Each structure stands twice: as C-alpha cells, then as structure tokens.
Structure 1
Amino acid sequence: MMKRILLLTDFSENSLNAIDYSMNLFKGNTCDFFILHVKSSASYTTDDLMTLGNESIYNSIVKGEKEELDRMVLDLKTRLNSETFTFKTIVDFDNLTDAIYQVIKTRAIDLIVMGTNGVTGAKEVVFGSNTINVIRTIDCPTLIVPKGFDFRKANEILLPLDVEDTLSGNAFNKASKFTDRFSEKIHVLRIIPNSDNLPEDQKDKENLDNYLKSTDYEYHIVNDIPMNYVVDCYIQTHKIDLMILLAQPESLLERFFIGSATTRISNSIRVPLLVFHT
C-alpha cells in the first residue's frame, strides 16, 4: 500500500498540477505526503554567498522556499479538507537525485510523484533530464504526470510489455496491487519485435489470473510493430487513464525514453505514467 509519498516541486505550474493529481488519486486513503524542494548548489556563486553579510545561508537561501512550501500545504489543506492526509515539507540544498535518495532512505517512501513537460514536437525527447535521471537512478515506484493533464480516476490502465518483461516478478506484484486498488481494468500488450520470438501467452494469462484479484483485463499480442506505434494507437483508440511500465535497467527503460529509431516514443505519453522497477 502506498502510504508514504514524496512530492517533488519547483513551484512551477507543472509540478503543482502533479501534486493536485496525486491528492485526487489518493483521496480517501490515509497518506503521509512529503513535499520536497531542492535548491541546486550550482545556482549560487561564491559572490552570491559573500553578499549575504551577517545573514545566514539558511535564512537567505532556504527560508524563503520553506515559507512557500508552508503556504502550499495550507492551500492544499484548505482545498482538500482531508483528515486522512498529513504533510511534511523539506528543503534541501543538493543535487536532485541525491536529495531524493536521502528522503527515500530516511522516510521509507513508497512512491515518488513528479511532473514533466512531456513533448511539444515529434523530434523532442519525451521527458527532461531530471525525470529520466530519477527513473534511472532511484529504485522507487515513480508517478510522472504530463503537463496540463486534468485528473480523472485511473479506471483503465495500459501495460505494454517488452519481450524481457515478466508478470511473475516483484515489479508486476506491486503493479497488480495498485491496479486492484485503483482501477477497474488493465489492458496488457505483449509486444514482440519480430515473429521469431514466440510469446508465452499462456504463462502471462496464468500470472494475470493469479495476481489480479479484483481487476478485469484484456490481453493482446502484437507482432512486428514498434512499441511507440502500438502505444500511440492504443491510447488514441481506447480510453486509457494511466500507463504502467515495468522498467528493467538498460533494456525497455532505455529504449522507451531514449530509444532506437524504431522504439523511441515521440508524442504518445498523453496520460500519467507509473514506473515500477524490476
């Protein structure tokens, strides 16, 4: 159960929208939210620090952000009026991924939530470097909310599978618990890059039956079609509310976000993406 949730914010509209999405998603659940703002040391020069005079570095650099986080929490409490949520604010002066790692380690975080600018053109990368670095280096489930996405319940979930993905591992076990709690149906696409790789569809269906307790599913095998086309087409022809990835280091994760010419996702991430690491 996802009870301890880390929300990343740079105070942009995009990050605030991701926070609102998570508040709505977990409404009615008992959750501890940790809201983290990271100040990069690279944004300050020696001259900046020397001009502080007698004022402490904390007061000049961190205090303002801490006060802004406190105002954010007050606004969330006022708008949500939820007695099942608690909030703690954290300001760190560090590298982003190092700061996230420390919070996860000390606070036993179950989920990271962050916004992303998505794409504005077919030739652009799907997500910015911060998003990719978090997914690559932090072994914690991560929910990424596209820019401007309006909340709707995650009733229908899409799960695309690489040939190396398994539905019997720890990642899918976590994913199945999420879908059983929050969704009504999961659409599973086993994508086979060439017909020489025969899918183990019977084993997939057995695992789906074993792991999914209260969620319906559709299962499809897709041969000889690049993943970006499959995902694009399926999202446009079905009412998908959220997508899940079972990310494996140096395999699907690399190809999905950075990718080769045949598997690069261009502009298909139109819904929130929830990543579980194997």
Structure 2
Amino acid sequence: MKNILLPTDFSDNSWNAIQYAIELFKDQKCNFFLLNTYTPTLYNFEFMKLNKGKVGLIETMNETSKNNIQEVKDKIENQFKNPNHTFSKISSFNTLISEIEELQEDYVIDFIVMGAKGATASKEVLFGSNAVHVIKNAKCPVLAVPSGFTFESPQEILFPSDYEVSFSEKRVQQILDIANRYHSRINILNAPYGCGLSKNQENNNQKLENLFKNITHLFHSLNGKNVTEAIANFQLGVRVNLLVMIKNKHSFFENLFFKSNINQVGFHINIPFLVIPYKL
C-alpha cells in the first residue's frame, strides 16, 4: 500500500491536485494523508505567551482546519468511491515544510502530490514558493500539478537528462511503475551544447537503455538548445502528459530549478511535473 501525502490549503488549485492523485493511483491500494498546516501570519512564541487571546485564535484556526479537511474528505468519498483508497486527516499548527519533515520521520511517505500555481500565476511563475520548497527538501518523489490541469493518462512521459546521474533501478522505479501501469512511452531528452557525451555520460546512457529495456522508450537529442528550450520545443511535436526529472545537486537540475533559470522553466511547464530525489 502506498502512503501519499496531499497538502491542501482548500483552494481550487489543491483540490485539482487531489483529484489528479486519486485518478493517477486509482488502481493501486493507497492511504492518502490529507494535510493542512496553519500559522498566524505573524507568529512569535514569546508574543503568544504574553497574549492569551492569541491562544483562542490558534484554537479557532485548528477547528476551522479540521472542519475544512472533513469537508474535503466527504467531497472525495462522494465523488470517488474507490475501495482501494483510504483517507487520513492531519491538521497541524506548523509550517508546511516542517510538518512534512516530521511526517517523513514517522511514516514512509511514498509520494507527495500538490497543487502548482501554473505558468500564468503572477510572480510565482513555476509552482509557487511552497511547492518549490517542498520539491527542494522532500525525501520522496513530489508530483506538482499545474492549476486547472485535468487528468489525462500519462501516455507520453518526457524525461530530460544530462546523463550525469548514475542511474539505478531504485532511482527510476517510480517512472517504471507509471509506465507499466499506463503502457507509457518514455522520451529521454538530452540537450548537449555542441560537444559529444563524456565516457561517464555514455555509461549512464547505457544504464538507462538497460533499465528501460522492457518499456517503450526513445532517446532524443536537441543540439544547441538549453534544457528549457529543449523541453518547450519537444512539446511542440509531442503531446507530453508528464514531465519527470531526477533531482541531483551535481546535475543540471540544481541550476535549472533553483537558480536564475526558474522563471524560464516555469514559463514552459504546463503539465504535471514529477521530481525524484537522487537519494531515495
């Protein structure tokens, strides 16, 4: 049974991600954790001790969170009657990142699925600050679903790689699981800049070939393009349903996702984005 964490702030965006997760894992036995975290906008422990009235505020926020999570659970059970799925509720006076860290210590969390702001959201172009921080810090795969994206079977998976990651079955198992369930084709995309692959990259390329040997897959190379351009150009010719990357600080992913290119990446991403930690 998979344990899947579903953070929610009760927005349409988070509800959309919940629906996507339920559809994606509809044929698997899963325990979903519905998580809502809450803190006052300004919170200081010493201030709270001196202002007893603020304790009442926290109690009110807790009650509101619990009521809203119950409404989400009821909505799910009315709309999706799936005997494979169970739902647990968590309301926590905590930040989202801290709560996820604590939950990962207490439970084996296999996946986090959360809403993304999408490419049209003002300054938070990629996925919004919460999603970015979760992706950066989570110890398990994180699937971010753009706002308004309606579930579609992941028939075409796009997997950009610079072949700097030493691939193993464990590191690509989530991709294999999805591809096997949905008879997907995996498109491995490399964007070299005018030079050939190093010996190490060739070895990692061959490892991927061996790992995907029982799955329909194609290797693609788009020369003279940076990764964001390559992803965008590829989507012009192929209807991609899922983008997957392995997060490794020593590969292109770190620069691509957390540094100056973040706005460029966000501009092009309009499909669910699965990020797999290098260390699982």
Whether TM-score is above 0.5 comes out as: yes
Gaps spanning 5+ residues in structure 2: where?
none
Question: Is the alpha carbon distance of 1:191 and 1:147 closer, same or farther for their aligned partners in structure 2, counting shifts above 3 Å?
Answer: same
Indicate yes or no: 2:69 matched with 1:69.
yes
Is the CA contact (8 Å cut-off) linking 1:227 and 1:263 kept in structure 2?
Answer: no
Q: CA deviation at 1:180?
A: 2.4
Find the residue that maps to 1:223 and give its secondary structure.
coil
Distance 1:118 1:199 in 2: 38
Question: Is the alpha carbon distance of 1:5 and 1:262 closer, same or farther for their aligned partners in structure 2, counting shifts above 3 Å?
Answer: closer
Deviates further, 117-126 or 136-145: 117-126
RMSD: 2.9
Find the residue that maps to 1:179 and give its secondary structure.
helix
In structure 1, give the amino acid aligned to 2:94. Answer: D
Paired residues in the alignment total 275
Q: CA deviation at 1:129?
A: 1.6
Distance 1:168 1:174 in 2: 12
Question: Is the alpha carbon distance of 1:216 and 1:122 closer, same or farther for their aligned partners in structure 2, counting shifts above 3 Å?
Answer: farther
Is the CA contact (8 Å cut-off) linking 1:6 and 1:34 kept in structure 2?
Answer: yes
Question: Is the alpha carbon distance of 1:193 and 1:170 closer, same or farther for their aligned partners in structure 2, counting shifts above 3 Å?
Answer: farther
Question: Is the alpha carbon distance of 1:124 and 1:226 closer, same or farther for their aligned partners in structure 2, counting shifts above 3 Å?
Answer: farther
User: For each residue in 1:42-77, what CA deviation from the matched residue of structure 2 results, as whole angstroms up to 9, or x when unmatched?
Assistant: 445758963368x5843x121121111111111101
Find the residue that maps to 2:232 and give its secondary structure.
helix
Distance 1:262 1:82 in 2: 38
Question: Is the alpha carbon distance of 1:169 and 1:139 closer, same or farther for their aligned partners in structure 2, counting shifts above 3 Å?
Answer: same
Question: 2:27 is matched with which residue?
Answer: 28
Question: 2:275 is matched with which residue?
Answer: 275
Question: Is the alpha carbon distance of 1:206 and 1:180 closer, same or farther for their aligned partners in structure 2, counting shifts above 3 Å?
Answer: farther
Question: Is the alpha carbon distance of 1:122 and 1:197 closer, same or farther for their aligned partners in structure 2, counting shifts above 3 Å?
Answer: farther
1:51 corresponds, among 16, 33, 53, to 53
Deviates further, 11-20 or 121-130: 121-130
Find the residue that maps to 2:222 and give its secondary structure.
strand
Gaps spanning 5+ residues in structure 1: where?
none
Question: Is the alpha carbon distance of 1:41 and 1:206 closer, same or farther for their aligned partners in structure 2, counting shifts above 3 Å?
Answer: same
Question: 2:240 is matched with which residue?
Answer: 240
Distance 1:262 1:243 in 2: 16
Distance 1:180 1:207 in 2: 19
Q: Which of the two has greater helix per residue?
A: 2
Question: Is the alpha carbon distance of 1:195 and 1:149 closer, same or farther for their aligned partners in structure 2, counting shifts above 3 Å?
Answer: same
% same residue: 29
In structure 2, give the amino acid aligned to 1:4. Answer: N
Distance 1:262 1:37 in 2: 27
Distance 1:51 1:158 in 2: 52
TM-score (norm 2): 0.87
Distance 2:262 2:137 in 1: 25
User: For each residue in 1:110-135, what CA deviation from the matched residue of structure 2 results, as whole angstroms up to 9, or x when unmatched?
Assistant: 00011111222898642222111111
TM-score (norm 1): 0.87
